[in-house]
Amino acid sequence: MENLNGLRMRQIFSQDRKERRKSERVEARIPIACSLSKNNIVLNATTKDISSGGVKLELSQPLEKGDRLKILFRLPKTAKSISSMGKVVWYKRDPHQENVYEAGLKYARLKAKVKEILEKEVACWILAKQT
């Protein structure tokens, strides 16, 4: 019975994890400029994926969970510039490449109009992949 309960708990947990992400993500390699709020250091990065809730970044400088960044990038499909604050929610070094890091950034204080632009951009990418 314990194994069955454990299995049920894992199934519930994995379902919760799947639903935790509220917005659709697409793989996208977009140059992005970032500046660390705590010391205004400018970092250059590239997105690995993007959604209306956040981005996965690839960069050559280490970050820390909780770091706050100001980000600026241009969406390739609509050519709209996106500027936002974001918070690092996870961070890791790429084990296969030297001096390459990945970070998950959640947008903070994203305006409704900007969120709508991001949602449309992601939808365009998804449709393009399906054709």
> What does the pLDDT look like over 81-94, one tens digit per residue?
999 999 999 999 98
Rounded (10°) CA dihedral 23, 24, 30, 33: 10
Is 31 in a helix, a strand, or coil?
strand
- Parallel, antiparallel, or unpaired for β 31-36 and 68-74? antiparallel
Question: What residues contact 6, with CB distance under 8 A and at least 6 apart?
Answer: none
Where do the domains of the chain lie? 24-130
Q: What is the pLDDT of residue 11?
A: 41
Q: What are phi and psi of 127, to 5 degrees?
A: -60, -40
- 0.85 surpassed by pTM: no
What SS3 class is residue 126? helix
**Tens digits of per-residue pLDDT, 48-66?**
999 999 999 999 998 999 9
Q: Which fold has domain 24-130?
A: Thrombin, subunit H (2.40.10)
Structure tokens at 108: 């903070």
Instruction: Say whether pLDDT at 1 is over 90.
Output: no
